[in-house]
Structure 1
Amino acid sequence: MDNKLLPIGKTAKLLGVSIDTLRRWDKSGKFSSVRISAGGNRYYRKSEIDLFINEPLSVALNWAISDKTYEPDQKYYCKTRDVFQVRLEHMLAELLGENSKAFSSLISAVAGEIGNNSFDHNIGNWPDVLGIYFSYSLTERKIVLADRGLGILFTLKRVRPDLKSHKDSLKVAFTEIISGRAPESRGNGLKFVRNIVTQNPIRLTFQSGDALLKLQQGKQDIDVENSERYMRGCLAVIEF
């Protein structure tokens, strides 16, 4: 194991975050530092940095925001809808082994709605890499989906040209039923997702553009905040 210590500045560059973010992560325990002396500078173990970089959420995020176009690891890459459907069904089968049929179906429905929306609303218009990133861990009870598509704002502006920001587009997508043709069904689908999440022990974090939305059981209010990093497409984390 590589126990080499790296300073906070170099660690921030490797992880693609700011030094202030690393300090917050250290205080919260999300990613702890090493201090050679009490009150001294923060250092980070190279081995732990490598693990963090290769964690599924980090991999998905880095792929979604990267300026370089490349396909993710084939284990998690669903280039077409049929590949996604097969893996979604496999996940449901695993969920059924540890959870009730009703709850397993809800989790699968949320993941399926988000993943299928990526295909529905980017078909023929993928900016570069086709398909989605899809990983899950029943041990961590976490599902991660990401795409390098057009994003929620671009999709909804086709029928709601008044939308000006990613924040507004996420609020509309998760709260309003929009009638009409193709693009707006994404909003209706995400409203369906919101209803499931807020009525069950599920948490959802969803990002598109520079807007980050969080949903959880019993919380009807839409909480949308600015994200530190911009992505053209979408990233979703489902925890249950």
Structure 2
Amino acid sequence: MAAGAQEDEFRYGRGREKTRDAARVETFSDGVFGVVLTVMAVELLQTGPARESGRAVPDALAHAWPSYLAYVITFAIAGQVWLAHHNLWRYVARVDQMLLVFNLLVLLFIATIPFTADLLSDNLRGSPTEQRLTAALYVGTVLGEAISVNLTWWWARRHGLLHPDLDPRLARTIARRIALKPLFYLAAFAIVFVDPILSLCAYLLLVGFYLIGGPGDLRSSAGPTRGRSAT
């Protein structure tokens, strides 16, 4: 009986091939996030005051403030995306090819963030055209990440890849919450035409908003309740 069941798992045909859980995807994704955050830290070292010859340390630190601002904002965005990825993927029970592709798209945009952040910090004192161009590249990166996350969740819901015990109402609420993120990023980008620095601060506000516990986030009260079954 067991041998026959194992044989059925390896049958050829749509919907009859062996499935896989999400453990390896999460491990790989965590590795990419770790590399991206490490690269950002290395980039920050390149702007240290020790590399500024002829400047006092306070003056050198003040001169490099665009790099520090871009680093803080980008680290906050990448960190918040990692938290969201960590929270959402605990509901994914198995994966298919397209879900892997959508997750790779998320990682593609995450890996591009340090590059666009570096451009943004270098041109924050530039002409209005340079400021808007680099801001557009930056928002394009974070917007692509947000859209890819939405596609990932949509595909997992549509194709039954989520845990069977997940409440459909929770799945819909999570979908609505993450669907707002691209709209918020576009609103933050629009502010760049008023003030580029204010636009960057708007990104930080968005990060703070999504760091507040919401539907789908890992909460301290999520443990099992005595006398009541988990839903």
- TM-score, with normalisation over the residues of structure 1? 0.28
Query: Which of 1 and 2 has higher RCO (CA within 8 Å, sep 6+)?
Result: 2
Higher normalized strand content (fraction of residues): 1
